[in-house]
Amino acid sequence: MKRVMTAAALIAASLTSMPSQAANVGVSISIGQPGFYGQIDIGGYPPPQVVYAQPVMVQPVPVGVPPIYLRVPPEHARHWSRYCRQYHACGQRVLFVKDDWYNRVYVPHYQQRHFDHHDRYDHRDHHDERRDEHRDYPRDR
């Protein structure tokens, strides 16, 4: 009976710990994907639509320093002084881009620029070239 109780306790403990282990699975989202939050480079893109017309500052910033563009959740923009450290932007002038502009304009332009212009590499062609190179070698080794 003791063995059955011990086995049941071990099974119960392992089942209760599984959800916490599943929660530790990391998801990586990078710039140009819909779920990305952070600094974006506006160079070469249409002018962004911003949440606030004037840059937001938490600390004094030297005159003449251009603002950075960030995409952040609405809660972070509303309470920027709480969240600026997460983005390493407390000492920056910040313009928050609107989610709609990011998803509708920035993401498609970014993906076209960075993913559609890569040269396609056909492994079959490379493999055939190597086979042709070795065709002249004698096979009696």
| 68 touches 43 (CB < 8 A) | no
Report pTM.
0.61
Per-residue pLDDT at 49 = 95
Which of the four pLDDT bands, split at 50, 70 and 90, describes residue 55?
very high
What percent of the chain has a predicted confidence (pLDDT) above 70?
Answer: 62
Residue 88 amino acid letter: H
Per-residue pLDDT at 116 = 59
Element (H, E) at 94: strand 94-96
pLDDT at 21 over 50: no
How do residues 61-117 score in pLDDT, each as one tens digit?
988 999 999 999 999 999 999 999 999 999 999 999 999 999 999 999 888 887 755
| 111 touches 32 (CB < 8 A) | yes
Per-residue pLDDT at 26 = 55
Return the structure tokens found at 85.
């450290």
Tell me the C-alpha distance between 8 and 11, whole Å.
5
